[in-house]
């Protein structure tokens, strides 16, 4: 068991180390502390989203509506402030919207027992459509004067570290605390490992599942705040992008099995670092867009193939729900 | 622009009135109105006709502006409107165009997602007797009218501005492209290349596609600026995306040292206010209300002309407004989406 868990995480970490060493040797400006900070800053939002996804995946679910949670409630804050509401009221409304979104997801999955993939796919489209049709005038919601101070969340430096990295760090600490130090966290692992056993043991499985999706929506909203603050606008069109695949990539690459019950914050950090290193190195080398996709695909394939060699699937390790 | 035409018309009318008044002065008693022979026909030609609009998506400043502008100009003449919003989905757009061809509106206003997809459909539409006006993004088929920005010119003018600024500095520039599949991005790149061919001293340290995404643009710009702190300019392809580029320049403390040139529809929050804040040094605006007015004028002309669709073809490239610190404060340089919708 310990070997298996070390397996994927170790492989990805090794891959990261090799890439890092290669780039450091080949690219003059790569291994500088300034560039390291840029690297981290560029993937901070992706990392925060990865944490939200990790909570759900550990509990044996998946949350495709995460990008809508990232785009719509923070976009609503910008829109409301633009329309003359106070920043505090806007933020409270956005958080309330996120919680409602999480509750609806959680209720449908835990009580109505609709598979998480379909539920969150639908609610994501619903919330994004709601934003487009009724909340926003245009799909890039611009910054306005009332947002003063809020940009600190995504811009500027504290003790030499860009704030998005600090936000990612804070989110890591909070999620680690929830998963490792609270009873709820232990329940999430138990449900992910074996939902039936967890229920038979007497765990409140349904409320815990609802909790997972509420947490995910709130963390997604937080990621949206950081994103909006860092680019001084909320491009709600991001919902149409392929960002959700990158989030899943971070989680799976980092070694959190889609079958649930395994992994943690460390895995998200490793997955994020690997993606960040690849993106940063290729940007420095000025690799073309198609070239970057090619490299991303190849690295993912190498990771998956190596994993299946090191951890061959058999009846013992394969679980129902494995993708 | 509109105000100027109105002013001229008023002047002519005043002169005409003065001449008429002197001529008619002696026979004031039997004064009768004169029927203008063409206006009745014109009204009949427009009344009840349908204009269908297929943008790549609604909900952004350009398409919302065109839609509002067209309605404002033509609805008072009894023109009916139909909107098909494919929401960035090219297949859905092709389906919308196909179904419109069989519904036979009088005019179709088409915003192409790329050069090829709609080309054959638009040809068929004109054969079926529908006037096709293409806006900002043309297809390989040349229809009755094209109204829009000249992307090559935008690329050239943005690149020239950056090259001029770089004169005597490091001569290192970066290019922030849009999405690779978009013709607007490819055409703009061509314009930039045209200028760079004449300036071999300029070194392009990065030319990457940021997918029209501000966050991606910021990430790329940050990395490029860390590697090349002496960079002197960035040519961006859309102001909505280059908010991210500009944020990276600002965070690096290089505002004013790195020239950011971009282009867009000229909406106040996205263009003038960004130039005023120093985020952009040059934002070439293809003023959306003017584009909408040009389209409306062409629709009026086509519908009242009796020309067979597809028989005549022409273009009306938009005259660009370079938004800089010099004119960003002037009220008429930019436009407000909220005003246009009123």
Sheet with B203-209: strands ordered across: B203-209, B172-177, B233-236, B259-264, B282-285, B321-323
Query: Do the Cβ atoms of B226 and A42 come within 8 Å?
Result: no
A122 CB-near residues (< 8 Å, 6+ apart): none
Count of beta carbons in the 10 Å neighbourhood of residue B3: 8
Say if residues A190 and A203 touch (Cβ distance below 8 Å). yes
Residue pLDDT, tens place only, A100-110: 999 999 999 98
- The residue-averaged pLDDT of B181-203 equals 91
pLDDT at residue B11, as a whole number: 56
Q: Does B54 touch chain A (CB under 8 A)?
A: no
Please report residues of B whose CB lies closer than 8 A to that of A49. none
Taking the C-alpha atoms of residue B125 and residue B148, their distance in angstroms, rounded to an integer, is 20
For residues B233, B239, B243, B245, the Cα torsion angle rounded to the nearest 10 degrees is: -30
Contact A75, A135 (CB under 8 A): yes
DSSP label at residue A178: I
- Rounded to whole angstroms, the Cα distance separating A159 from B147 reads 52
The H or E element that residue A287 is part of is: none
Angle ∠(A213,A253,A124) on CA atoms, nearest 5: 30
- C-alpha span between B186 and A23 (Å, rounded): 30
**Which DSSP state fits A321?**
T
Residue A2 has pLDDT above 50, yes or no: no
Considering A280-284, A316-320, B119-123, the range whose residues carry the highest mean pLDDT is B119-123
pLDDT of A322 strictly over 50: no
pLDDT for position A3: 45
What mean pLDDT do residues A238-255 have? 82
What is the band of B49 on the pLDDT scale with cuts at 50, 70, 90?
very high
Interface of A with B in 135-174 (CB under 8 A): 136-140, 142, 144, 155-156, 162
Whether B55 has its CB under 8 Å from any CB of chain A: the answer is no
Query: Could you give the ipTM of this predicted complex?
Result: 0.73
* Inter-chain CB proximity A283 and B220 less than 8 Å: yes
CA distance B300 to chain A (A): 29
Give the side-chain half-sphere CA count within 13 A for A7. 20
What residues of chain B, 86 to 115, have a C-beta less than 8 Å from chain A?
87-88
The answer to whether A38 contacts B243, with C-beta atoms less than 8 Å apart, is no
Closest residue in A to B217 (Cα) is: A231
Nearest CA to B232 out of B172, B286, B292, B315 is that of: B172
What is the arithmetic mean of pLDDT over B226-233?
92
Cα–Cα dist A218/A73, whole Å:
10
Strand partners, B107: B51, B131
pLDDT at position B177: 93
**pLDDT confidence of A236, banded at 50, 70, 90?**
confident
Q: Is the dihedral of CA A300, A302, A305, A308 positive or negative?
A: negative
pLDDT at B203 over 80: yes
* Domains within chain A, CATH numbers bracketed: 2-310 (1.10.3470)
Q: Is A283 on the interface with B (CB under 8 A)?
A: yes
The answer to whether A285 faces chain B, any CB pair under 8 Å, is no
Is A79 touching B (CB cutoff 8 A)?
no
Residues 226-265 of A with CB under 8 A from B: 227, 230-233, 235, 237-238, 240-241
Q: Is residue A33 less than 8 Å (CB to CB) from chain B?
A: no
Spatial neighbors of B333 by CB under 8 A, at least 6 apart, are B266, B272, B285, B321, B323, B327
CA of B273 to nearest chain A CA: how many angstroms apart? 10
Instruction: Give the model confidence (pLDDT) of A16-33 as tens digits.
Output: 888 889 888 888 888 888
User: What's the start-to-end Cα distance of chain B, in Å?
Assistant: 20
Residue A312: pLDDT band with limits 50, 70, 90? low
Query: B60 and A132: CB-CB below 8 Å?
Result: no
The pLDDT tens digits of the residues spanning B259-309 come to 999 999 998 888 999 999 999 999 999 999 999 999 999 999 999 998 999
Query: Model confidence over A123-182: pLDDT tens digits?
Result: 999 998 888 888 887 777 888 877 877 888 888 788 888 899 999 999 999 999 999 999
- Per-residue DSSP letters for A9-48? HHHHHHHHHHHHHHHHHH-TTTTSHHHHHHHHHHHHHHHH
User: What phi and psi values does residue A321 have, to the nearest 5 degrees?
Assistant: 100, -5
Average pLDDT of the segment spanning B314-340 = 90
CA distance B55 to B134: 10
The residue that leads in pLDDT, A290 or B107, is B107
Q: How many Å apart are CA A42 and CA B223, to the nearest integer?
A: 9
Entry pTM: 0.79
Q: Which one, of A93, A99, A104, lies nearest residue A126 by Cα?
A: A104
Of B61, B224, B226, the CB nearest to A34: B226
Mutate to test the interface with A, among B83, B86, B227 (most CBs of A within 10 A): B227
Helices in B90-238 by DSSP H: which ranges? 90-103, 119-127, 151-166, 183-198, 214-227
Give the pLDDT band of residue A1 (cuts 50, 70, 90).
very low
Chain A residues inside the 8 Å CB shell of B220: 283
Contact B178, B189 (CB under 8 A): no
The domains found in chain B, sorted by start residue, are 40-148+288-311 (3.40.50.2300), 151-285 (3.40.50.2300)
- Read off the pLDDT of residues A174-213 as tens digits, 9 standing for 90 and up: 999 999 999 999 999 988 888 888 888 888 889 999 999 9
Quick check: B180 and A41 CB within 8 A? no
What secondary structure letter does DSSP report for B29? Answer: G
A134 inside 8 A of chain B by CB: no
CA A252, CA A277: separation in Å to the nearest integer? 17
Q: Do B222 and A290 touch (CB under 8 A)?
A: no
What is the reported pLDDT for B235? Answer: 96
- CB-nearest partner of A38 from B222, B273, B337: B222
Search chain A and give the residue with CA nearest B89.
A240
The reply to whether residue A286 touches residue B207, judged by beta carbons under 8 angstroms, is yes
């Amino acid at each position: 068991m310990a070997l298996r868990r070390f397996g994927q995480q170790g492989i990805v970490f090794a891959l990261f180390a090799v890439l890092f060493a290669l780039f450091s040797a080949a690219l003059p400006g790569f291994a500088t502390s300034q560039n390291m900070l840029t690297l981290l800053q560029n993937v901070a939002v992706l990392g925060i989203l990865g944490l939200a996804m990790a909570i759900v995946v550990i509990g044996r679910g998946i949350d495709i509506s995460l990008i809508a949670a990232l785009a719509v409630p923070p976009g609503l804050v910008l829109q409301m402030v633009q329309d003359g509401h106070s920043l505090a009221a806007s933020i409270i409304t956005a958080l309330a919207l996120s919680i409602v979104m999480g509750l609806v997801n959680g209720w449908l999955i835990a009580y109505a027992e609709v598979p998480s993939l379909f539920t969150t796919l639908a609610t994501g489209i619903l919330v994004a459509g709601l934003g487009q049709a009724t909340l926003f005038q245009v799909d890039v919601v611009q910054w306005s004067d009332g947002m003063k101070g809020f940009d600190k969340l995504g811009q500027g430096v504290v003790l030499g570290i860009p704030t998005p990295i600090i936000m990612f760090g804070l989110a890591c600490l909070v999620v680690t605390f929830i998963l490792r130090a609270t009873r709820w966290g232990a329940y999430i692992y138990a449900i992910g490992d074996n939902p039936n056993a967890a229920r038979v043991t007497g765990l409140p499985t349904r409320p815990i599942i609802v909790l997972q999706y509420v947490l995910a929506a709130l963390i997604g909203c937080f990621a949206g705040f950081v994103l909006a603050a860092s680019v001084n606008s909320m491009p709600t069109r991001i919902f149409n992008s392929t960002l959700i695949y990158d989030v899943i990539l971070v989680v799976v690459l980092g070694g959190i099995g889609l079958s649930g019950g395994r992994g943690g914050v460390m895995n998200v950090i490793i997955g994020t670092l690997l993606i960040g290193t690849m993106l940063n190195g290729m940007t420095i080398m000025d690799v073309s867009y198609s070239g970057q996709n090619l490299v991303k695909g190849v690295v993912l394939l190498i990771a998956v193939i190596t994993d299946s060699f090191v951890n061959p699937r058999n009846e013992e390790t394969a679980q129902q729900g494995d993708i | 622009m509109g105000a100027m035409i109105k002013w001229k018309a008023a002047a002519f009318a005043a002169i005409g009135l003065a001449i008429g008044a002197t001529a008619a002065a002696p026979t004031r008693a039997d004064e009768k109105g004169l029927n203008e022979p063409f206006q009745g026909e014109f009204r009949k030609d427009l009344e009840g006709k349908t204009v269908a609009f297929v943008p790549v998506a609604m909900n952004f400043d350009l398409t919302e502006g065109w839609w509002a502008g067209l309605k404002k100009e033509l609805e008072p003449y009894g023109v009916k409107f139909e909107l098909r919003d494919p929401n960035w989905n090219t297949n859905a757009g092709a389906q919308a165009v196909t179904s419109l061809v069989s519904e036979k509106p009088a005019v179709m206003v088409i915003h192409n997602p790329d050069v090829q997809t709609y080309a054959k459909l638009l040809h068929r539409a004109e054969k079926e007797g529908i006037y096709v006006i293409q806006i900002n993004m043309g297809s390989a088929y040349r229809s009755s009218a094209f109204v829009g920005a000249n992307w090559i010119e935008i690329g050239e003018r943005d690149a020239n501005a950056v090259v001029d600024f770089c004169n005597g500095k490091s001569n290192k520039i970066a290019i922030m492209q849009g999405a690779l599949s978009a013709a607007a991005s490819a055409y703009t790149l061509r314009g930039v290349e045209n200028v760079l061919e004449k300036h071999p001293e300029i070194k392009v340290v990065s030319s990457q596609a940021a997918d029209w995404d501000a966050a991606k643009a910021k990430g790329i710009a940050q990395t490029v600026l860390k590697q090349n702190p002496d960079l002197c300019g960035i040519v961006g392809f859309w102001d909505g995306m280059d908010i991210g580029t500009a944020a990276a320049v600002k965070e690096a403390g290089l505002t004013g040292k790195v020239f950011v040139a971009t282009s867009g529809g000229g909406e106040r929050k996205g263009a003038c206010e960004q130039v005023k804040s120093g985020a952009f040094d040059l934002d070439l605006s293809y003023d959306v209300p003017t584009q909408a007015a040009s389209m409306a004028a062409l629709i009026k002309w086509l519908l009242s002309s009796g020309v067979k669709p597809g028989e005549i073809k022409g273009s009306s490239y938009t005259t660009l407004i370079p938004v800089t610190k010099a004119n960003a404060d002037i009220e008429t340089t930019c436009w407000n989406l909220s005003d246009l919708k009123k």
